Structure 1
Amino acid sequence: MPDFTEVAPRVWVAHYDWMHVNITLIGGSDGLLMVDTHGSAAQARIVADDVRRLGAGPLTGLVNTHEHWDHHFGNATMVEQFGEMPIHATDWARDHVEESARHTFEMYDGQADHPHRDDILATEVLLPTHTFSSAVQLDLGDRAVELIHPGRGHTAGDLVVRVPDADVLLGGDLIEESDPPFIGDDSWPMEWPLTIDLVLGLMTDRTVVVPGHGQVVDKDFVQDQRVELGIIAETIRDLASRGVPQSQALAEGEWPWERERLASAVRLGYEHLPRSQKRLPLV
């Protein structure tokens, strides 16, 4: 059973084996802020028990780093277990939670043998209640926490959480340690590197970085991941500018990750590039 481990003063992280999800608690004199809530009601009840066992104070607020189900399907359970509280997210994430959840339910409905299928399908979706577009500061009593939308990357609505006095940054799925970051059909691979540049600007050389999935990392890890994302974006740009068709780009490019991870990146990259950066075939 995972324990919340203090990675900086009054900042605790629990790493859960299913999907390598991280749940973070940030403590202030007014209570605890939870960042992300896991991927089903059943799993969230386990998280709630872990919060009680930690005994660091009442849970008084939630943050969803983006609209993907594995980061907010525990919202309703946390409110059920601990009472009404604000749920923070970007405007974009709130506006796309229901659509994203519908796709998740449809996907798992067809996976009869998946061990978590029934738990996922039984989960109630609870939307964020407090949203913002660029940045907002939360008051935890004796501590301020910043929520920042640094730009489009993993989704169009990612946020990062900065705890300035503890020099901690929670990166959501803009940063992943257990696997390379997931570039899905709703990602922005050509903008992601610049978004990470802004995130890096929020760090010092000593910042403790909590990714959405995997082990706690540091600024050097984030810089290395930014380089890889930059190579992917520039490879797409180069292939398109030389007139390589999208259908051949995955095979012709030299990529830092396995090709099977990059099908969406190539398709979206070609779609998102302005016409001036593509060499179009003559007809």
Structure 2
Amino acid sequence: MPDTSSRFTEVAPRVWVAHYDWMHVNITLVGGSDGLLMVDTHGSAEAARVVADDVRRLGAGPLTGLVNTHEHWDHHFGNATMVEQFGEMPIHATEWARDHIEASAGRTFEHYEQATDHPRREEILATTLHLPTHPFSSAVQLDLGDRAVELIHPGRGHTSGDLVVRIPDADVLLGGDLVEESDPPFIGDDSWPLEWPTTLDLVISLMTDATVVVPGHGQVVDKDFVQAQRVELGVIAETIRDLASRGVPQSQALAEGEWPWDRALLESAVRLGYEHLPRSQKRLPLI
């Protein structure tokens, strides 16, 4: 018999989340009387076709809009598939994300060209880019008919172009990769480790104690989880500031600092943190 089950699970009224094993990616559907809004679209055309089948199995309405939470490939490589399968529709993202998707995707394609033994290499390289069509700068409200959904750029953190999605009537917040549950948040070469904690402060201010929080990767969490993650990111930022202010050189910072995460996860954080610090907060290295 054919599989008629959908991965989408309702986590709040007319808000469904599907969790996919590959990269622990979450795809969210927000339902309104005018149709469904999909937040993020997965990491390849092939993976997105599975998502599209799950949308159909859910049977909650037509797909009428997309949101990309930032410019990294695992959140938008399914855009073209969704448009092919469901028709043209607005694709929302921050202006920064829209302007940097092509360059970011180029680095991804280059990486997988070299990764000849990666099991998903071919499907990733076969993906066609489809850029966001509706960029915004700081905040925008989307009308789903009988429901309003807010897209908010709270500041720089995981990237310069992160957005969060707030569904006020359901008390749900979609955090993108500003919040991760499956692993510690990824601090990469385009992250802002010194600003990420204050960006999360704004995100937390959008929550109540009962808010359902959907991270970019991993299981659904709550406000307490986000606050704990903000504390860890704050410790990382303050440790970088402290080490730099005491004249500890960047090359020794990882070894000398007391870190909340494995040091192997923090190489980019330390390098970027030192680069982003104003000169007034850095002393010359002690000799």
1:206-261 deviation per Cα after TM superposition (whole angstroms, max 9, x unaligned): 00000000000000000000000000000000000000000000110000000000
Query: RMSD of the alignment, in Å?
Result: 1.0
Structure-2 change in CA distance of 1:99 and 1:47 (3 Å): same
Residue 25 of structure 2 contacts residue 218 of structure 2 at CA under 8 Å; is this kept in 1?
yes
Q: Which of the residues 159, 178, 185 maps onto 2:182?
A: 178
Q: Which residue of 2 aligns with 1:226?
A: 230
Which residue identity lines up with residue 195 of structure 1 in the other structure?
Answer: T
Q: Which residue of 2 aligns with 1:264?
A: 268
Does residue 147 (structure 1) correspond to residue 123 (structure 2)? The answer is no
Gaps of 5+ in 2: none
Which residue identity lines up with residue 113 of structure 2 in the other structure?
Answer: D
Deviation at 1:280, TM superposition (A): 1.6
Q: Which of the residues 86, 89, 95 maps onto 2:93?
A: 89
Does residue 117 (structure 1) correspond to residue 121 (structure 2)? The answer is yes
| Separation (CA, whole Å) in 1 of partners of 2:203 and 2:69 | 14
Does residue 195 (structure 1) correspond to residue 203 (structure 2)? The answer is no
Structure-2 change in CA distance of 1:249 and 1:125 (3 Å): same
Larger CA deviation: 6-15 vs 108-117: 108-117
Residue 14 of structure 2 contacts residue 32 of structure 2 at CA under 8 Å; is this kept in 1?
yes
| Separation (CA, whole Å) in 1 of partners of 2:168 and 2:74 | 26
Does residue 168 (structure 1) correspond to residue 178 (structure 2)? The answer is no
Deviation at 1:281, TM superposition (A): 3.6
Residue 2 of structure 1 contacts residue 15 of structure 1 at CA under 8 Å; is this kept in 2?
no
Q: Which of the residues 246, 249, 253 maps onto 1:249?
A: 253
Larger CA deviation: 57-66 vs 272-281: 272-281
Q: Which residue of 2 aligns with 1:61?
A: 65
Query: Structure 1-normalised TM-score?
Result: 0.99
Which residue identity lines up with residue 49 of structure 1 in the other structure?
Answer: D
| Separation (CA, whole Å) in 1 of partners of 2:259 and 2:167 | 34
| Separation (CA, whole Å) in 1 of partners of 2:203 and 2:11 | 19
| Separation (CA, whole Å) in 2 of partners of 1:267 and 1:209 | 30
Q: Which residue of 1 aligns with 2:221?
A: 217
Regions of 4+ moved over 2 Å: none
Residue 248 of structure 2 contacts residue 286 of structure 2 at CA under 8 Å; is this kept in 1?
no
| Separation (CA, whole Å) in 1 of partners of 2:286 and 2:6 | 59
Which residue identity lines up with residue 82 of structure 1 in the other structure?
Answer: F
Which residue identity lines up with residue 127 of structure 1 in the other structure?
Answer: L
| Separation (CA, whole Å) in 2 of partners of 1:262 and 1:282 | 23
Deviation at 1:2, TM superposition (A): 6.0
Deviation at 1:282, TM superposition (A): 7.8
Residue 26 of structure 1 contacts residue 34 of structure 1 at CA under 8 Å; is this kept in 2?
yes
Which residue identity lines up with residue 58 of structure 1 in the other structure?
Answer: P
Deviation at 1:112, TM superposition (A): 1.2
1:125-182 deviation per Cα after TM superposition (whole angstroms, max 9, x unaligned): 0100001110000000000000000000000000000000000000000000000000
Which residue identity lines up with residue 231 of structure 2 in the other structure?
Answer: V
| Separation (CA, whole Å) in 2 of partners of 1:61 and 1:268 | 35
Which residue identity lines up with residue 198 of structure 1 in the other structure?
Answer: L
Gaps of 5+ in 1: none
Residue 250 of structure 2 contacts residue 271 of structure 2 at CA under 8 Å; is this kept in 1?
yes
Secondary structure of 1:61 counterpart: strand
Q: Which residue of 2 aligns with 1:43?
A: 47
Aligned residues: 283
Which residue identity lines up with residue 89 of structure 2 in the other structure?
Answer: M
Alignment identity in percent? 86
Q: Which residue of 2 aligns with 1:128?
A: 132
Deviation at 1:45, TM superposition (A): 0.3
Residue 151 of structure 1 contacts residue 195 of structure 1 at CA under 8 Å; is this kept in 2?
yes
Residue 189 of structure 1 contacts residue 269 of structure 1 at CA under 8 Å; is this kept in 2?
yes
